[in-house]
Amino acid sequence: MPKESFLQNRIRSVGFALKGALLLIKTEASIKIQVFIALVMTAGGFYFDISATEWILQIFAISLVLGIEGLNTAVEKLADFVQPEFDEKIGFIKDISAGAVMLVSIGASIIGLIIYLPKIF
């Protein structure tokens, strides 16, 4: 079998990544809520005509929350695969992973408040 070219390999990698993103959105309730919030915030950005800097911060915050949620889901799925039975150490790992999502979500919420509260009031 001939070796894949660099471009073919990159295209295939993007395909796997898109498949993973779609699986995440289709199968995880928390990411569905976060995607909905991201769409609402994006609509809010157009409605309030936010600045380029505000768009950058908003897109960064949304991307960070969704990305960390994806990593959290991967950690949880891997932990459940490795140890299907309850294990205190696995629970600790999963709690830390969920805590990371919470911290990033709090930061994203603060960014949203900084951007939108002055525009609303």
Binding-site residues for ATP, please? 28, 76, 94-95
3-state secondary structure (DSSP) of residue 50: coil
Decide: 79 and 94 in contact? Cβ < 8 Å. Answer: yes
Residue ranges for the binding site? 28, 69, 76, 94-95
Could you say which of 54, 69, 85, 88 is catalytic? 69
* 69 tagged catalytic: yes
Distance CA 31, CA 70 (A): 8
Residue ranges for the binding site for a divalent metal cation? 28, 76
Decide: 94 and 75 in contact? Cβ < 8 Å. Answer: yes
Residue ranges for the binding site for substrate? 69
Q: Find where tokens 């919030």 sit.
A: 37
Q: Indicate which residues carry an active-site annotation.
A: 69
